[in-house]
Amino acid sequence: MSEMATRDAYGKALVEFGADKSIVVMDADLSGSTKTGEFKKVYPDRFFNMGIAEGNMMATAAGIATCGKTVFCSTFATFASERPLEQIRNSICYPNLNVKICASHAGLTVGEDGASHQCLEDMAVIRSIPNIRVICPSDGASTRLAIKAAIDNPGPFYIRLGRAKVPSVYGEYGADVPFAIGKSNLLRPGQDLTIIACGIMVKTALEAHEILKSKGINARVLDMHTIKPIDKEAIAKASRETGLIVTAEEHTINGGLGSAVCEAVCESHPCLVRRFGVNDTFGKSGTPKDLLEAYRLTAEDLAIECEAVYKDLKG
Amino acid sequence: MTQEKEKALKLFAAKVRRWAIEGVYHAKSGHPGGSLSCADVLTYIYNEEMNVTAASAKDQARNRFVLSKGHCAPALYATLGLLGFFDIEEMKKLRKVDSFLQGHPCMQYTPGIDMSTGSLGQGISAASGMAINAKYLDKTNYKVFTILGDGEMQEGEVWEALMSSAHYKLDNFCVILDNNGLQIDGKVDDVMSLGDIEAKTKAFGFETRVIDGHDFASIEQAMKDFNANIGSGKPFFIISKSHKGQGVSYMLDNAGWHGKAPNDEEYAIAVSELDAAIKALED
């Protein structure tokens, strides 16, 4: 099975779609890591390194966007969301400008750099701002389409990308994947419960689905790649048809995917929702694999959680 | 500068002040002090440099202006209204719930506004982005102007933007500091002193001038220098020495008038002073 980090897919997508002269890319001294450096190699005239000054980068990007350009801004997720949050709010989202924030190194799987660099709150803070759409793709193929969608749809986007290589969900980079902003993908049918996942947890959910199946539990799996606007219809349907939802995200359980699903469930067809993710704590150093085990975010952990809550409710 | 031209600019600036006060009075809130201190520079930029009209306000090749000290929106709105971007009578609806004149500039609502501002430090960055676009992307000759407040210079982002403007050699970019020396809590030097701004901006790689921000000959000389500097690879910085509340006697150099509307009595005094100034210039 092929593996690819979503940041690598991002760099590739920028090159693939970058011939369009209205596309501009900015970075804050991390172009090698965020993979915007790939764009720079091919289109150096439309790449701007803004140095380690993220607030200035975001508002400068906004200024370029007022001139009719599509501006991609990248750095690590912590420095692309929480540090320049107010520039994102006031200079990008309030005037609804065409800036695409593509944040790499989100989540625990940043690994050895530890808590300061492991962004676990970005989806929560960003999705509270009007006008911006928040997307967390699961693999290389879907990342490519998220970037394409961001180019095709004017206005602010926040796209959450990871450092670590992840196994593909949809096939190789370039595969024909169903992808529409705000429309989740049904990856596995199921009636007993629904796992709603985003990012690297989509693959984890598919693995948990297999484990649960071996125990006679039939879990529906949804790839909720768009956290905002969230697919309320699919969530309400899952609630109605399966009566139990478990959300899975490499992010704090407060304010991100789990919270967005809870909001949608409460306002449509209430059912029990269990939020699976990082439990209101910071990360720490370690290999990505060791961290996912330490924070109980493996497919086995997810299956255990699903089985327990399923038996509590329905057993 | 001919006497005639100077008189015309003075008259326009007096009207900007008059309408800025009108707006703040009707809104019962807003920022008169800084609006009055930057009125002359705004007048010069829009009448002599911008060359933009309501009809050309969306042209890609137009010159651009960003009010980085967005709280001085009343002066910018008055300028745009007097130039016909919208009916100047709209000033009486400033800050009202059904008005397109927001408390701080909003590019989506108001004709002629090139960038939404209000959060200090961000406008200069956005303006530098417009200058980057002209120089490196569109490769056109338009110029970009921004006005900063001196309290605003305490924001770290301003210095980030100065750094990147010099790095990208934005010689099409003119940053004007409305240096009235006062901010909400008092004197800039008491709150958080900025040190030697001239030396600092030069050290950051700018071509810097210090001018009298209420003297049109002085403003014009600086703008001539800016235009002559285009092609040098250095961005331009103008320290415009000004007085908060300029044009209204009781507001002059008074930090208390940073963000307060005049009451009926105070409004009447301001109107009589500004109307007298306008009448003297019209005669």
The structure tokens listed for B27 are 């809104």
CB within 8 Å: A56 and B107: no
Q: Tokens 């329905």: give the residue.
A: A314
CA distance B32 to B36: 6
Residue A192: CB atoms within 10 A of its CB come to: 18
Q: Point out the residues of A that are catalytic.
A: 54
Can you give the residue ranges of every domain in chain A?
Answer: 3-167, 185-314
CA distance A297 to A302: 7
pLDDT of residue A276 exceeding 70, the answer is yes
Closest residue in A to B128 (Cα) is: A60
Strands A185-188 and A219-223: antiparallel
pLDDT of residue A54 exceeding 90, the answer is yes
The structure tokens listed for B227 are 């235009």
CB within 8 Å: A53 and B163: yes
Q: What pLDDT sits at residue A115?
A: 97
The structure tokens listed for A272 are 């029990």
Helix axes B3-27, B264-282, angle to 10 degrees: 160
Under a CB-based contact definition with an 8 Å cutoff, are residues B132 and B167 in contact? no
Alpha helices by DSSP H, listed for B64-175, are 73-82, 122-132, 156-167
Helix axes B3-27, B216-229, angle to 10 degrees: 100
Please report, as a single letter, which amino acid is at residue A180: A
Q: What is the mean pLDDT of residues B103-117?
A: 97
From chain B, the residues in CB contact with A53 under 8 A are 157, 160, 163-164
Share in percent of chain A as helix, strand, coil (round to 5):
45, 20, 35
DSSP state of A164: S
Q: What pLDDT sits at residue A2?
A: 85
CB within 8 Å: B60 and A95: no
Q: Which DSSP helix (H) or strand (E) runs through A186?
A: strand A185-188
Please report, rounded to a whole number, the percentage of residues in chain A having pLDDT higher than 70. 100
Closest residue in B to A24 (Cα) is: B137
Q: How confident is the model at residue B283 (pLDDT cuts 50, 70, 90)?
A: confident
Q: What is the mean pLDDT of residues B103-121?
A: 97
Question: Starting at the edge strand that comes first in sequence, how are the strands of the sheet with B173-179 ordered?
Answer: B64-67, B144-149, B173-179, B236-241, B207-212
pLDDT of residue B140 exceeding 80, the answer is yes
From chain A, the residues in CB contact with B148 under 8 A are none
∠ CA B141-B144-B150, nearest 5°, is 155
Fold of A185-314: Rossmann fold (3.40.50)
Rg (Cα) of chain A, in Å, rounded? Answer: 19
CB within 8 Å: A62 and B125: yes
CB within 8 Å: B125 and A24: no
Give the CB-side neighbour count of residue A22, counting CA atoms within 13 A. 12
Q: Is B108 on the interface with A (CB under 8 A)?
A: yes
Q: What is the mean pLDDT of residues A242-271?
A: 98
Dump pLDDT digits (tens) for A60-70.
999 999 999 99
Q: How far is CA A147 from CA A17, A140, A160, A310, in A?
A: 9, 11, 11, 36
Q: What is the mean pLDDT of residues A250-279?
A: 98
b/e string for A253-276 if b means 16 or more Cβ within 10 A? bebbbbbbbbebbeeeeebbbbbb
DSSP state of A142: H
Q: Is B157 on the interface with A (CB under 8 A)?
A: yes
Q: What pLDDT sits at residue B32?
A: 96
CA distance A236 to A268: 6
Q: Is B120 on the interface with A (CB under 8 A)?
A: no
CA distance A80 to A119: 10
Q: Is B247 on the interface with A (CB under 8 A)?
A: no
pLDDT of residue B207 exceeding 70, the answer is yes
From chain A, the residues in CB contact with B108 under 8 A are 95-96
Phi, psi of A70 (to 5 degrees): -105, 110
Q: How far is CA A204 from CA A178, A250, B175, in A?
A: 19, 11, 52
Q: How confident is the model at residue A315 (pLDDT cuts 50, 70, 90)?
A: confident
Q: Is A26 on the interface with B (CB under 8 A)?
A: no
Q: Is B158 on the interface with A (CB under 8 A)?
A: no
Q: Is A95 on the interface with B (CB under 8 A)?
A: yes
Q: How far is CA A161 from CA A206, B171, B201, in A?
A: 19, 36, 38
Domains located in chain B, CATH noted: 3-282 (3.40.50.970)
Interface test with A, best of B107, B125, B172 (most A CBs within 10 A): B125
Smallest CA-to-CA distance from B94 within B21, B42, B35 is with B21
Rounded to a whole number, what is the distance in Å from the CA of A45 to chain B's nearest CA? 7
Please report, rounded to a whole number, the percentage of residues in chain B having pLDDT higher than 70. 100
* Residue, of B192 and A2, whose pLDDT is higher: B192
Under a CB-based contact definition with an 8 Å cutoff, are residues A191 and A218 in contact? yes
Q: What is the mean pLDDT of residues A170-197?
A: 96
Interface test with B, best of A20, A91, A99 (most B CBs within 10 A): A91
Q: Which CATH superfamily is domain A3-167 in?
A: Thiamin diphosphate (ThDP)-binding fold, Pyr/PP domains (3.40.50.970)
Q: What pLDDT sits at residue A314?
A: 86
Q: Residue A216: is it exposed, middle or buried by C-beta count within 10 angstroms (0-12/13-18/19+)?
A: exposed
β partners of residue A219: A193
Phi, psi of A121 (to 5 degrees): -125, 0
CA distance A109 to A199: 11
Smallest CA-to-CA distance from A228 within A129, A155, A98, A119 is with A129
Entry pTM = 0.97
Q: What is the mean pLDDT of residues A152-175?
A: 96
CA distance A178 to B211: 61
Q: How confident is the model at residue A1 (pLDDT cuts 50, 70, 90)?
A: low
β partners of residue A223: A185, A197
CB within 8 Å: A62 and B157: no
Comparing CB atoms, the residue among A51, A66, A86 nearest residue B119 is A86
Q: Which of residues 172-231 of B touch A (CB under 8 A)?
A: none
Q: What pLDDT sits at residue A57?
A: 98
Strands A3-4 and A166-167: antiparallel
Q: What pLDDT sits at residue B167?
A: 98
Smallest CA-to-CA distance from B125 within B168, B79, B86 is with B168
CB within 8 Å: B107 and A55: no
Dump pLDDT digits (tens) for A68-98.
999 999 999 999 999 999 999 999 999 999 9
Residue A294: CB atoms within 10 A of its CB come to: 14
Lowest mean pLDDT among A146-150, A156-160, A175-179, A300-304: A175-179
Interface test with B, best of A54, A56, A70 (most B CBs within 10 A): A56
Q: What is the mean pLDDT of residues B20-32?
A: 97
Q: Is A52 on the interface with B (CB under 8 A)?
A: no
Phi, psi of A33 (to 5 degrees): -85, -40
CA distance B239 to B241: 6
CB within 8 Å: A90 and B107: no
Interface test with A, best of B160, B167, B172 (most A CBs within 10 A): B160
Q: What is the mean pLDDT of residues B262-271?
A: 98
Alpha helices by DSSP H, listed for chain A, are 6-17, 31-34, 36-42, 54-65, 77, 85-87, 122-126, 140-152, 201-214, 232-242, 257-266, 288-294, 299-314
Q: Which residues in chain B belong to E strands, given as ranges?
A: 64-67, 144-149, 173-179, 182-183, 186-187, 207-212, 236-241
Comparing CB atoms, the residue among A56, A65, A95 nearest residue B157 is A56
CB within 8 Å: B137 and A64: yes
